[in-house]
Amino acid sequence: SDAAELPIKFIPRHPGCYHCQILLKSSCDVRVYEIECVVNEDHVEAEIEFLTPVYRTVIQDIPISNISSQNQKLEAILEGQGFYGPPLINVGLGETAVYPLMFKPIVE
């Protein structure tokens, strides 16, 4: 086999984005590998309950904080009938942005 294993142990202390460079040298070759690890908090699931009359739209502003070391461009994938929101949201370094999740019921 032409492959060689390079085991790496990574123990993050906080959520965020971690960058690393690995330099491998031999007498006839030099290679630099860049690694980026994104660490999320353990509990990233949330639940929101909407109570609204039929045909009445409700909007819930969801705060999203960026505690990483760079600006974040996040993609939103909404599942379920009647839910709307922007497909992309940009959150600057150290900032908190608001994602406006809209629910527009069409039946009871």
- The three-class DSSP label of residue 36 is strand
Nearest Cα neighbor of 88 from 103, 102, 78 is 78
**Per-residue pLDDT tens over the stretch 31-53:** 998 988 888 776 656 777 777 88
pLDDT for 1 equals: 67
Q: Identify which has the larger pLDDT, 45 or 7.
A: 7
**Separation of alpha carbons 41 and 16, rounded Å:** 9
Most distant CA atoms of the chain, gap in Å:
73
End-to-end CA distance of the chain: 62
Query: Which pLDDT tens digit goes with each residue over 95-108?
Result: 999 999 999 888 77
* Share above pLDDT 70 across residues of the chain, in percent, rounded to a whole number: 94
The model's pLDDT over 71-87, given as tens digits with 9 standing for 90+, comes to: 989 999 888 888 999 99
Encoded tokens for 82: 């009647």
